[in-house]
Amino acid sequence: MTTKATQHALGLLAGLVALALGTTPWTAATAAPQQRTGAQVILDWSETAVATIHTDAKKPAAEQFLYYGFVDAAVYNAVVGIEGRYTPYKWHERGPRHASSEAAAAAAAHRVLLTYFPASQARLDAAYTVSLARIPDGRAEKQGVRFGERAAARIVRLRENDGRDAPVTYDKPPAPGVWRPTPPANAPFAVPWLGKVRPMLLDSPERFLPGPPPALTSKTYTRDFAEVKAVGAKNSVRRTAAQTETARFFSDVLPVQFQAAYRGYVARHGLDLVDAARLFAATGTATADAAITAWNAKLTYGQWRPITAIRLADSDGNPATTPDPSWQPLLDTPPYPDWVSGHNINDGAVMSVLNRLTGGHLDFRISSAVTGTTRTYANAAAYNRDVIDARVWGGIHFRASDVVADRTGGRIGDWAMAHYFGALR
C-alpha cells in the first residue's frame, strides 16, 4: 500500500472511531480530504446567505446572527434527516433513504432565505438553479427538494411570533453610568427588540444573563476607565502600531467574517456534507443566542460607553477619574450600551463550539476587509485574548465588558453542544 493510500485509510479509520464515540474531532490528522465531499452546497449557500442578509437587506450585524442561525438550522435538519449521524434540531422527521441530501440542503436554504428576504428572489432563484444543476435529475433530487422544503417549513414555524421587530424601546433616562446616544451619529439604540427574542437553543434570554457591570467607584471600573482612556483614544501615544492594527482588524462585520472562516475551515479540512452542516448549525444557533443574550444585558443594565464616561467623568462620583470633554475613541462607537460586548460574547460562543467540534485543534483562519489581512489561530485562548484587547484598544469597550462577555459566550457554546447536535444513539 502506498504512503498516500495508507494515510487515507488511517484517516477513514480515525473518522469511524470518532463517529462511534460521538465526538468526530476534525483535525489535519483525522480529516481525509476528498475530491468531492458534497459540502460545496453548504459553502455556496453560506455565500448566498451573506449576499442576501448583509449585502441586499443590510441587516445590522447583531441581527444577522439570527438569520444565519435560521438558515443553518434548516440546512442541518435537511441533511441529517436524510444522512443521519447527528440528532436533528427540534425535529424528529426522517427523509427518504435515497433522497439527495445536497438537493435537500439547497432547497432548505433557498426556502428560508426567500421567506424572510423576498426582495432577493432573483439572487436566490439563480443560486438555487446553480445548486440543482449540479445534482443528477431524477427521483433522488425530487425527494431531496421536497424534504428540504419541509425542513425549512419547520424552522419557519418554530420562529413564528418569536419577538422579531417587536416594539421594544430603551427608556432609561440619562444619568451617571447610564447609556445615551454617542457621537458622531448620536443614533438611537439599534434593534433593541433583539434582547427579548425567543432564543434558538436556550429556554430564555435570561438563561445566561450576566450580573451587573462594576460600580462607578469600584477598583475595576477605575482601572478600566484609565486603560481605555489612555490606549483607546483616537490619537493615543500609548497604543502601538500593532495594537492599532488589531483594533481595526476586529472592526469588520463579525458575522460576515465568521461565515467566511467557517467556509475556509470546511474546505481546508475536507469536511463532508454532514459535518459541514453541523459546524454551521452549531455555530450559527449558538451565536444567535449569544447575540440575544448580549442585547438583553444591554437593555437590562444600559451601561454608558467609554466616550460618554470619559467626557462626563466629573459626574461619576469617582475622584480617581478625570474628565476629558474632547476625548474620541479610535473607532466609532456602536449605537448601543457597553455591557456586555456583543462582539466578545459571539467570539466566546464560537470558540467554545469549535473547540468541541475540532477536539481543540482549532486552525481558525479569519480575514478582515478593513485591514486586508488574515490571521490564523491554533487555540481559542489566543483568539479570545486578541478580541478582548481589540475592543479596548479601539476605545469602544471597558475591559470588564469584554472579559465577562467572552466567558458568557463560552458558557452558551458549551451548553449548546451539551444539549444539541450530538451523535445519534
Residue 63 has pLDDT above 70, yes or no: yes
CB 365 within 8 A of CB 374: yes
- How much is the pLDDT for 38? 84
- How much is the pLDDT for 12? 37
Segment 282-304 mean pLDDT: 98
Segment 339-350 mean pLDDT: 98
Could you report the per-residue pLDDT of 126-137, keeping only the tens digit for each?
999 999 999 999
Residue 31 has pLDDT above 90, yes or no: no
Measured on CA atoms in the order 357, 404, 46, 263, is the torsion positive or negative?
A: negative
CB 345 within 8 A of CB 406: yes
* Local confidence band at 13 (pLDDT 50, 70, 90 cut-offs): very low
* Local confidence band at 425 (pLDDT 50, 70, 90 cut-offs): confident
3-state secondary structure of 84: coil
Cross-strand partners of 10:
none
3-state secondary structure of 118: helix
DSSP result, 269-299? HT--HHHHHHHHHHHHHHHHHHHHHHHHHHH
Segment 209-216 mean pLDDT: 98
Residue 23 has pLDDT above 90, yes or no: no
- How much is the pLDDT for 302? 98
Could you report the per-residue pLDDT of 378-420, keeping only the tens digit for each?
999 999 999 999 999 999 999 999 999 999 999 999 999 999 9
Could you report the per-residue pLDDT of 91-147, keeping only the tens digit for each?
999 999 999 999 999 999 999 999 999 999 999 999 999 999 999 999 999 999 999
Rounded distance between C-alpha atoms, residue 348 and residue 381, angstroms: 10
The H or E element that residue 7 is part of is helix 3-21
pLDDT > 70 in the chain, percent: 91
CB 21 within 8 A of CB 425: no
3-state secondary structure of 235: coil
End-to-end CA, the chain = 35
Residue 33 has pLDDT above 90, yes or no: no
Residue 183 has pLDDT above 50, yes or no: yes
Give the start-end residues of each E strand in 270-377: 364-368, 373-377
Is 404 buried (19+), middle (13-18) or exposed (0-12) by CB count in 10 A? Answer: buried
Could you report the per-residue pLDDT of 236-284, keeping only the tens digit for each?
999 999 999 999 999 999 999 999 999 999 999 999 999 999 999 999 9
pTM of the predicted protein model? 0.91
Rounded distance between C-alpha atoms, residue 259 and residue 47, angstroms: 8
Segment 204-226 mean pLDDT: 98
Nearest to 104 by CA among 55, 51, 157, 41: 41
For cell 422579531, the residue is 164
**Average pLDDT in the chain:** 92
The H or E element that residue 152 is part of is helix 139-158
- How much is the pLDDT for 19? 33
